[in-house]
Homo-oligomer: A and B are copies of this chain.
């Protein structure tokens, strides 16, 4: 174990992990059985267009969510577009500013105006007061996000939307398999959208789904997913191609079948991290809201620079040099992305977004999931404690290494990864993503 800041990889030490650890490392529990299923799909001749595996996967989603309908799609961004059109949204839609950019961009892509509301500092989900302040006569819907699997304040949102005659569509990308007071995510609002991207709790390499209990909405979603075609010689709507093919559906089925084992792994890692966080000032593990049952997929912390001695971005760079690919999601906040940042004042931003601004500078995500052994979580915890204990020394070494290509204080002969190289590698990685 490293015991001195001189041993940190950012300053030339060997990385703590040879094989990089990622946030959302995808897991295939039984590749052999999945391969056998793929083989049978390839020989069947039906490769897409509402195939039998797709239908099985949709039935499995609906079973987990206890909803009437599940419509699987090629990804969640296209699912959000389809759901928005199926719900006939128009004008402005209120979204939290602290979310992955796809929530807002899915709307903007199809000509709707996202309007950004702030989030709650404790749960990171939509702040109701802030959302309410955004409502104008052009508002057609609210699109809250169950961020990190934290279920939004669904009852109050229902009441608000009912009283203001707004549609309510949830971005539930993070929350497959989560519950609130025993009600599975999928049953809230007019419809909910899941992501089955490779990094998600359940994944289909790429994928998404719309779930709803409304027959009419489900019917329109199915139609819009396949070009708006409604019969042999009838095209009744403008649709897109949101189809999920059979290989993705097979992956989704295998992922959904093994989800309970991932909850257990996430819980074990969380306990290890929680134990380390208790012994450090300035690093807080986000707690699960009362009544929430989470899939545990997101290990989210906030960094208080004053108390910890280093800021979030410094911690991310130092960890990455060690092979721990911590993430600084979501930075920047959506309102700082184009085209919103440069748009006319008041078009997308009309309320203070202070909590989003703070969180975008302080939130840190650490690896978890079955790919991470609890022993590795422990090792990451020890690294964080080393950073905390020697924060002043780390800051000094950091500023010394910034303009230096080869910096290794204890052994100048050893090749070193410098802060500059780490930042360069990060940029390359992100560009590749």
By a beta-carbon cutoff of 8 Å, the part of chain A in contact with chain B is: 25-26, 28, 31, 34-35, 38-39, 42-43, 45, 47-50, 74-78, 81, 101-102, 105-106, 108-111, 197-198, 203, 205-206, 226-229, 231-233, 235-241, 243-248, 251, 331-332, 337-339, 426-427, 430-433
In the complex, the chain B residue whose C-beta lies closest to that of A427 is: B232
Given contacts A205-B246, A248-B247, contact A198 B38 (CB under 8 A): no
Determine whether the beta carbon of B232 is less than 8 Å from that of A430.
yes
Determine whether the beta carbon of B101 is less than 8 Å from that of A228.
yes
Determine whether the beta carbon of B106 is less than 8 Å from that of A205.
no
**This chain: copies in complex:** 2
A-B contact pairs, 16 of them (CB 8 A): A26-B47, A31-B42, A35-B35, A47-B203, A48-B206, A50-B433, A75-B241, A81-B240, A102-B227, A105-B240, A106-B240, A229-B430, A229-B433, A238-B338, A245-B248, A247-B247
Q: Which of A228, A238, A247 has the most CB of B within 10 A?
A: A238
- Interface residue SS majority, chain A: loop
Q: Note all chain B residues with C-beta closer than 8 A to A28.
A: 42-43
Q: Note all chain B residues with C-beta closer than 8 A to A432.
A: 49-50
In the complex, the chain B residue whose C-beta lies closest to that of A198 is: B47
In the complex, the chain B residue whose C-beta lies closest to that of A195 is: B241
Set B31, B43, B78: member contacting A241, Cβ < 8 A: B78
4 additional contacts (CB under 8 A) given A105-B238, A232-B426:
A50-B433, A101-B229, A206-B245, A237-B339
CA A430 – CA B229 in complex, angstroms?
Answer: 9
In the complex, the chain B residue whose C-beta lies closest to that of A251 is: B247
In the complex, the chain B residue whose C-beta lies closest to that of A238 is: B108
Q: Note all chain B residues with C-beta closer than 8 A to A81.
A: 109, 240
The 8 closest A-B pairs by CB, nearest first: A235-B337, A77-B241, A205-B245, A47-B198, A111-B111, A232-B430, A206-B245, A75-B241
